[in-house]
Amino acid sequence: MKYKNFPMVPKVVFGRGCFSQLDEILMPKRKSDEAPFIFLVDDVFENDNWILSRIPLLFNDQIIFIPTDEEPKTDQVDALVEKIRQDATQMPSGIIGIGGGTVMDIAKAVSIMLTSQGSSADYQGWDLVKNEAIYHVGIPTISGTGAEVSRTTVLTGPDKKLGINSDYTPFDQVVLDPELTKGVPKDQWFYTGMDCYIHCIESLNGTYLNAFSQSYGEKAQELCDEVFYNGNLTTEEAQDKLMMASWHGGMSIAYSQVGVAHAMSYGLSYLLGTKHGIGNCIVFDHLEGFYPEGVAQFKKMKEKHGIVLPTGLCANLTDADFDTMINVSMGMDPLWENACGKNWKDTITPEKLRSLYEKM
């Protein structure tokens, strides 16, 4: 048996208000006054002075606002890299992502592509990146995806939705300031938090599980339970704990994998552009056959927080549409193998997936 040698984020600061320390964190990493920091910021903050005033701009540093109504795409990454190359006379000092999972993934991908040739679509897969990325910092403003700690950046490309999984993907620095999540709308808070909860269920019920992943997954699930289920926390405690849940949930899949919900939601997202968090929820809601306890608790949490999931997504799809989704989903071999074992193809058939998609 060969074990993964997993890259971890080498530097992390945690605390309410620690975003204000960004200035001193970046200062020693500035290479010259011609080598800017590029801040990729969720465009929800475009008029948010509480955030923007604390971004330590100097010289020719740039803020680029990132639209996040769609999942991140390879051509979006390629266009950003092209723009940054054209604007700057020198390689940037670093890329700073400030936002949710979409911005985290775009920041990771841009930092990789600034030192690699071709299109980001060429690197979707496992360990295809050969050059070290430039210095990159992740500052999550919503909790759940685990993108701040993972070694992947999930992108939708011309022919697949798949991560750039590499040792150069993880951030060099993460700033965990739970206060930054205070403005997240309730439905998004729930969907993104459930991304973490679903990571835990998929990891803890997977065949890849070991004691490393288990310990992180159990803790992340406990924290999700505190935040979404048993719920007797102050607003601040809930923000703090959900940020740690996301972190531990991300670590949990370091040695294991996600499972059925992620595999199927990739199909939805590829065809329909469904955002990752809500897509996972829509799928997971129908997975009682795979994860009976997890789905039962999910339904209770949904009810407790008054969340109503959209229905009928697949009502008007053609056979070709279903085939596209099924192909994308069944292409995620490691996820299915983790969920159902090496012989997953015996039970996971196109017909089975179609019947599940038809319910959504």
Considering only 95, 243, 271, 353, the residue that binds a second copy (CB under 8 A) is 243
Q: Are 357 and 348 in contact (CB under 8 A)?
A: no
Site pattern 244..263 for a second copy (x: CB under 8 A): xx--x------x--------
- Residue 295 has, within 13 A of its CA and on its CB side, a CA count of 14
Q: Where does this chain touch a second copy (CB under 8 A) — which range of 9-17, 256-264, 297-305, 327-335?
A: 9-17
The reply to whether 18 sits near a second copy by the rule CB under 8 A is yes
Integer-rounded Cα Rg, in Å, for the chain is: 20
Residue 127 binds a second copy, judged by CB under 8 A = no
CB of 259 to a second copy, least distance (A): 20
For residue 137, give the 3-state DSSP assignment.
Answer: strand
| DSSP 8-class letter at 305 | T
Size of the site for a second copy (CB under 8 A): 39
Task: Compose the 283-322 pattern: x for residues touching a second copy by CB under 8 A, - for all others.
Answer: ----------------------------------------
Question: What distance in Å separates the CA atoms of residue 183 and residue 9, rounded to the nearest whole number?
Answer: 26
- Nearest distance from residue 261's CB to a second copy, in Å? 24
Q: Is 64 in the site for a second copy (CB under 8 A)?
A: no
Q: Does residue 301 contact residue 193 with C-beta atoms inside 8 Å?
A: no
Based on the shown chain and the rule CB under 8 A, indicate whether residue 178 belongs to the binding site for a second copy.
yes
Token pair of 11, please?
């530097």
> Residue 112 corresponds to which amino acid?
I
Determine, following the binding rule CB under 8 A, whether residue 211 of this chain makes contact with a second copy: yes
SS3 19: helix
Choose one: 128-136, 191-199, 207-215, 263-271; the region binding a second copy (CB under 8 A): 207-215
Question: Do you know the residue count of the chain?
Answer: 360
Contacts 24+ apart (CB under 8 A), 42-46: 42/66, 42/68, 42/98, 42/99, 42/100, 42/102, 42/103, 42/141, 43/67, 43/68, 44/68, 44/99, 45/98, 45/99, 45/141
* CA 308 vs CA 175, 281, 295, 299: distances in Å: 32, 10, 15, 10
- Collapsing DSSP states into helix, strand and coil, what is residue 233? coil
Cβ proximity to a second copy, 164 vs 238, nearer residue: 238
Rank residues 211 and 308 by Cβ distance to a second copy and give the closer one: 211
Choosing from 4, 69, 86, 312, the residue that interacts with a second copy (CB under 8 A) is 4
- Return the number of the residue (20 or 311) whose C-beta is nearest a second copy: 20
Contact residues toward a second copy (CB under 8 A) are 1-15, 17-18, 21, 25, 173, 176, 178, 210-212, 215-216, 218-219, 222-223, 237, 240-241, 243-245, 248, 255
